[in-house]
Amino acid sequence: MTDSAKKPWPTELRLHKDRKTLSVTFDTNESFDLAAEYLRVRSPSAEVQGHSPSERKTVGGKRDVAILEVNPVGNYAVRLVFDDLHSTGIYSWDHLLNLGRNHKAYWQEYLDELSAKKRPNTEWRLANKKRSFDGYLPLATRYSPTQCCTITVAPTGTRP
């Protein structure tokens, strides 16, 4: 078995109708509802992460941010475009899995950083509430507020 065969692989990404939650399901039967705010403040971009741990920024004031676009990057990631026009983060499958698995700790770390920097606290609204979906759109389509999408990722046999 190769290393890539051992790694969890996404089977579906679903942008909720309100564009505030991205659901990610992996072939390990793990599924995560990731809030747009959480994805925005944990963006893997150099703008947020910097080029070293000491350069990492705490991004506040993103409670109402929404995801405008979900664009594929090869077969290993997606680029999310947020309504605050942040679009430089490439969210690899590993990064999305890490964000899902470590959500509680990462979110608390973020709230602690906001508090330490005396920035306005960002209220956590549960992203795990079940919401209805009206339909599906293909990946890389621009979404209107009345639509949502489902992205089916290539089966595990077609991994790079």
pLDDT of res. 2: 57
Task: For residue 14, report the phi and psi dihedrals to the nearest 5 degrees.
Answer: -135, 120
Q: Is the pLDDT of residue 44 over 60?
A: yes
pLDDT tier for residue 9 given thresholds of 50, 70 and 90: very high
pLDDT of res. 46: 55
Class in CATH terms, 3-141: alpha beta
Alpha carbons 140 and 79: distance in angstroms, whole number: 9
Share the mean pLDDT of the chain.
Answer: 76
pLDDT of res. 37: 94
Q: Is the pLDDT of residue 114 over 80?
A: yes
Q: Which residue has the higher pLDDT, 124 or 76?
A: 76
Alpha carbons 61 and 107: distance in angstroms, whole number: 14
Beta carbons within 8 Å of 56's beta carbon, 6+ residues apart: 48, 49, 50
Residue written as tokens 């089977």? 11
Domain chopping of the chain, boundaries: 3-141
